[in-house]
Amino acid sequence: MRILVTGSNGLLGRAVSRLLSTSGHNVVPLLRQGRPGGRGLRWDPDRGQIESTQLHNFDAVIHLAGENIAGRWSEEKKRRIRDSRVKATRTLCQALARRPTPPRVLVAASGVNYYGDRGEELLTEDSPPGEGFLPEVCVQWEAATQPAVEAGIRVVNLRFGMVLSTEGGALPKMLRPFRFGLGGPFGSGRQFMSWITLDDAVSIIRFAVEDEALQGPVNAVSPNPVPNREFARTLGAVLHRPALLPFPGFAARAVLGEMAEELLLSSIRAAPRRLEDAGYEFKWPDLRNALEAVLTREENV
């Protein structure tokens, strides 16, 4: 297949491009206007500009582009987070819809932050959205794919949990204090974390491209979400370090503000119901085995 990938320089984009290329697919990156060198097509998502004629003859599109949500959220940072997802997705989908022969499938990133802080409630793809900045962004992000849906493209909105990888994302930031024996849970530690290994995340993307029955929102998470205190305890055990020093909620809020509230202290217990119903088999469903595999890979690099 000929597959267009946005966000190809990010953690997921790099990994899925490698996987698909080694599987024999022709992977073409869609790159931001003005970024230097390399093969690929160009667009300017900040200005909502893309030339639809360059989107000719693609079988599938994988849309992973978006501003990194890490860091303290100023109003400008929040605008970039929203626009890089909502505006960019709408721009891409409108361009795809204008093609005489659009791609058969669009796999578009979203997040389990769609559900917001929900305590111990088990959340499936049929659960309603929560309240807050990130749930609002996710709702608008997924709605921005509607032009593609109306054009007859099969759209899969993958709601990713925290991706476990030492190549990027949240895990490398956690490892340093844990390796010095200074790790522990955030806040109360009771909040649920929905996670997925990078291996499973990219396999799920390929699965979504290939499974013609899969469409709509899909929770791209392990079937075993865990409370934050269990995550901390397990990471400490894998590293052979204690995990006894909690990072108080008030300190997290003081340092990171709204981001801490919605990312570190919120509880999201999401279940991959539609993936399981579709027959996807997780490589790493168990947290300890997953962390051991991820960290062993780092040691062998």
**What DSSP assignment string belongs to 206-245?**
HHHHH-TT--EEEEES-S--EEHHHHHHHHHHHHT-----
Quick one: pLDDT at residue 38? 55
Tokens coding 121: 């409630």
Are 215 and 125 in contact by the 8 Å Cβ rule? The answer is no
Quick one: pLDDT at residue 173? 87
Amino acid type, 31: L
Question: Per CATH, the architecture of 2-300 is what?
Answer: 3-Layer(aba) Sandwich (3.40)
Quick one: pLDDT at residue 84? 94
Quick one: pLDDT at residue 261? 84
Amino acid type, 237: A
Instruction: Dump pLDDT digits (tens) for 6-50.
Output: 999 999 999 999 999 999 999 999 998 655 555 679 999 888 888
Quick one: pLDDT at residue 301? 42
Bridge partner list, 28? 4
Quick one: pLDDT at residue 264? 87
Bridge partner list, 105? 60, 154
Quick one: pLDDT at residue 65? 94
Quick one: pLDDT at residue 298? 57
Are 8 and 29 in contact by the 8 Å Cβ rule? The answer is yes
Report the chain (301 residues): mean pLDDT per 10 consecutive residues. Answer: 95 96 95 66 89 89 94 91 96 94 97 97 98 97 98 98 94 90 92 98 98 97 97 96 85 77 91 98 97 80 42
Residues in contact with 248: Cβ distance below 8 Å, sequence separation at least 6, in sequence order = 187
